[in-house]
Structure 1
Amino acid sequence: MRETELSGRTALVTGAGRGTGEAVARLLAERGARVVAVDRDADGVAALEAAHGAARITARAVDITDRSAVDELVDEAERTVGPLDILVNVAGVLRAGSVVELTDQDWADTFAVNTTGVFQVCRAVARRMTARRSGSIITVGSNAAGVPRAGLAAYTASKAAATLFTKSLGLELARSGVRCNVVSPGSMSAPTQRQPWTEPDSRSRVVEGDLTACRVGIPHGRRTEAVDIAEAVGFLVSDRARHITMHDLYADGGAALHA
């Protein structure tokens, strides 16, 4: 049943050019959805479209920090692909470094994608969903939004903002039948999340913990994988989660101790 549970639905996934976003787009397509795959990386989403066929995945190269481009994207998607039933915000950047080392540009770039980008895409899509009185919006956040991380202040702050924004949006849209939820990964193997852990023993420090960085480790014994997040998203956008909204689903192997 899960292979067809999203049949007839149209999804827009940002950050779909690689990693978690790509995994989410693939899973939604495999479960029957028509997917608009969005990323600044034109080659990445083009390869995704080629692998699945344009009838299943439509690639669009768009920078979500550009408000006009976002509005045009959503207009075109609704006009040519279909009314959007699902939105998954995955696009994100990570700029590591202590607060005293971060530049203004690091801070601005982080919030432009991780927070403002989420706002702009959600606003454009939510206007359509509320009119139809149905829809599901997911923001892929981070367990770091609820647990301080040394060297990741900009990232954690941006993800905390995106998380609370998504929950607040869920409250505003609840009576319209639109559900808004968050999926929060733990440390992942994606290139953007390997950046802060480049020392020879970094892998064991992530899994086992590092008190100097206020990390308790990962009780489940491994890093989060893209497919873990895709599966969580697949559940939350399905009818199996029809009564779940404003929820933050941690998929981090217990690393945050659900703090």
Structure 2
Amino acid sequence: MEWGETAVEQSELAGRTALVTGAGQGIGEAVTRALVAAGAKVAALDATPDGIKELEAEYGTSVVTPYTADVSDSNAVESVVEDVESRLGPLDILVNVAGVLRTSPVVEITDEAWQRTFAVNSTGVFNASRAAARRMDGRRRGCIVTVGSNAAGVPRTSMAAYAASKAAATMFTKCLGLELARSGIRCNVVSPGSTDTAMQRSLWADEQAPARVIDGDPASYRVGIPLGRIADPADVADAVLFLVSDRARHITMHDLYVDGGATLRA
């Protein structure tokens, strides 16, 4: 199904302003498209300009406004949020998608790889969420969704930095949700499993790699995907769209796994 095929998708976020980090590709791009289809104006933030500029060209600046910034830079993030509110209106929705993946056995992880992983995946979520929450809290409305990972709940070989950083972002988001609940602001997490993105494909060494992901790999203590398919970014975006909508008005501090059952919800 294409974005915008249903009346609900076309109108449920009409008039709302959203900020999506990591919007230039993969899940972030899919989330941006889903929000636009639902009627939102989207500030699309990414560390590199190419993808978000393409979205701007496709939809127009009045619908998608691109911002180039590194989410690990708190001053840059604060400036973006301030500009978004000035140009597009009060921020109603924040979706934290920006992330990096550095794979390595723990004994071989470099200081730089560890620090950069946490700078983007954890501190980046903190920077964007803090900037948004400060403004949402005063207005007593808004919602925040962090795209985490099922790796945050299940150990993965050669993914310690990534898994730990996503676990930190997940718990941070839940704590933020607890603090903001009395203001009516909802904070949730969507945790994808293997999803057909550039990040996922970077892990594939040959043409049989997708089949191994689906079937599982006992040598790396990894079960397969019970539903028998790798997720499309739109599958994750659908979950985000639900959580930022009024249909989820009584859901907060929740971690929604979108992984085809791959973690057996451990």
For this structure pair, what is the TM-score category when the shorter chain's length is used for normalisation?
A: over 0.9
Residues 104-149 of structure 1 deviation map (CA, whole Å, 9 limit, x = unaligned): 1110110000000000000000000000001010000000100111
* Correspondence 1:218 to 2:225: yes
Partner in structure 1 of residue 149 of structure 2: 142
The amino acid across from 1:239 in the alignment is D
Identity of aligned residues (%): 61
**1:197 CA drift (Å):** 3.2
**1:85 CA drift (Å):** 0.3
Q: Unaligned 5+ residue runs, structure 1?
A: none
Q: Unaligned 5+ residue runs, structure 2?
A: 1-6
CA distance in 2, matches of 1:39, 1:108: 19
**1:193 CA drift (Å):** 2.1
Provide the TM-score with structure 1 as the length reference.
Answer: 0.98
* Correspondence 1:81 to 2:88: yes
Q: Which runs of 4+ in 1 moved over 3 A?
A: none
Q: In 2, are the aligned partners of 1:17 and 1:43 still within 8 Å (CA)?
A: yes
Partner in structure 2 of residue 108 of structure 1: 115
CA distance in 2, matches of 1:199, 1:22: 26
* Correspondence 1:243 to 2:212: no
CA distance in 2, matches of 1:229, 1:161: 20
Residues 56-95 of structure 1 deviation map (CA, whole Å, 9 limit, x = unaligned): 1111111111111011111110011110000000000000
Q: In 2, are the aligned partners of 1:94 and 1:193 still within 8 Å (CA)?
A: no
CA distance in 2, matches of 1:62, 1:193: 23
* Correspondence 1:189 to 2:199: no
**1:196 CA drift (Å):** 3.0
Work out which of the residue numbers 133, 140, 151 in structure 2 matches 1:133. 140
Provide the TM-score with structure 2 as the length reference.
Answer: 0.96
CA distance in 1, matches of 2:167, 2:200: 17
Counterparts of 1:113-124 in structure 2, within 5 Å, are 113-124=120-131
The amino acid across from 1:133 in the alignment is R
Segment drifting more, 190-199 vs 156-165: 190-199
CA distance in 1, matches of 2:258, 2:167: 16
* Correspondence 1:53 to 2:70: no
Provide the alpha-carbon RMSD of the alignment: 0.9
